[in-house]
Structures are given as C-alpha cells and as structure tokens.
Amino acid sequence: MRRLVAGVIIGAVPIAILDVVVARATRPTPVSACQFRFPDPRRADVDGLVASGGDFEPPTLLAAYRRGIFPWPAEGIDRLWWSPDPRAVIPIDGLHVSRRLRQTLRQGRFRVTIDADFAGVIAGCADRGENETWITPALRAAYGRLHALGWAHSVEVWALDGTLAGGLYGVSIGGLFAAESMFHRVTDASKIALVALVQQCRASGVDLLDVQMPSSHLASMGAVTVARREYLRRLADVVDRPVNFTATRSVPPVE
C-alpha cells in the first residue's frame, strides 16, 4: 500500500492535510477496440442525449468517456448516453473547503483510502432508500469490471470504528477523472471523499475533474460549469497523457 500526505490548496494557501492510503496501486489494463461508433457529442439534443443502445463492456465505456460521453439510465432504459451542455467540473486548484469542513478535517475523526472497497462504495452510492437509483445492476457490474482492469477507482471514508462512512467512485483515463457518484452515512463523509479525490488528482497529475451535472452541493465545493465545446477541448488535451491515478508524486507548489 502507498501512503500520500499532501495539502489541498485554495489558490496558494494550503488549507488541509489528509493522510490517504492507496490500497491497491494498479496500472490500467489495455482493452480491445470498441465495436460501436458514438455520434459526435456536439450533436446531442437539448438535454444532452447523444445515443441509445450499445453495451456496457469496458471498451464501450472507455470509448464513451474519451469522447466526453457517459451512461445515465433513465425511465427504465439502461443504455442511454449523454454529453450535457454546460458541463460541471471542479478546477483542480479551485476546491472550496468551508470553515466547518476544515475543522472536521483537523479533528481526525475519519481515515481515507483509495480502492480498498470499490464494491462497498458503489453499493453505498446505489442505496437511495425508497428512491429509485440510476445505478442499475448492469451498471454496477460494468464499473466493477472497469475497476478490476484498473480504470475505475473508489475513495473510501471510514469512521474510526471501521464502518464505511461515505465515499465516491469514478473513471480515470489519462489526465481525466470522471466522478460518477458519491454517498455519505455520516455527516461530511462525502465532502471529505471529494477533498481526498482532489488531493489524489493533484498528486497523480490528473488535470480535468469532471462531475458531469451541476448541483448546489457541488457548487458549494467549487464546481463550475463550462460550455460543452470547452470541455471537449480540455478533454482532448489531457485524455492521452501518461497518468496513473493510483501512482503518486510530489504535489507541485502553487506559485
């Protein structure tokens, strides 16, 4: 296991330090070519729908993310593919941590891991109580396959009694991390997972943190929206970079 201790930065001011343990350092396993051809995401409809059909095999999912497209089942249809305009991203150097969350981080009431319990995190994200979840059994299995191949990763936040308090998961391709979903069972646990994710992105060299759809919760943490054309331009710049999300390096100083 690898251990990372690094500062999370707002502007040029380090505001928190998390001790993050990478439970399983991996390199992504190459996959075969995708057998489908996705339409140009710039031709998506007004809601961002690009296409329907295909499958959730690793080559298909990775080809979609490389083109700025992600799966999002709706109305009982599993295989729907989206590229919304605008797109929500969190600037790697623009995470916002409130004073209260900063205090929580300093209290040391949680420990944080990466890739220690991917199945537990995606199960937590899919558990919406009586509300319907978009994380269908087919998608859970699909992301599990990506995780086994080293393309999908989880961030776990553990209470000191060893229970899973919250977390998030997503897909890493080159300099892109596409965050898919997060959950919490303890107050602030999902926010701590997001802080840890940004820290790991900085440490590994990820430059583009995609959170897909804007929300007030994400906006409170520093998420901003960019036009789809701008997102696709940024994506093209980073997606083929030789970045390994679970390998770490020194976090560069901010001038």
Confidence of residue 24 (pLDDT cuts 50, 70, 90): confident
Read off the tokens for 168.
Answer: 């998030």
The residue-averaged pLDDT of 220-232 equals 97
pLDDT for residue 249: 54
Provide the residue type at 200 as one letter.
Q
Which carries the bigger pLDDT value, residue 106 or residue 151? 151
Phi and psi torsions of 5, nearest 5°:
-125, 115
Has residue 18 got a pLDDT over 60? Answer: yes
The contacts of residue 193 (CB under 8 Å, 6+ apart) are 112, 155, 156, 157, 166, 167, 168, 182, 184
Contact 178, 170 (CB under 8 A): yes
> Which whole number is the average pLDDT over 28-49?
97
pLDDT at 188 over 70: yes
Q: Which residues of 67-135 form beta strands (DSSP E)?
A: 70-71, 80-82, 87-89, 110-114
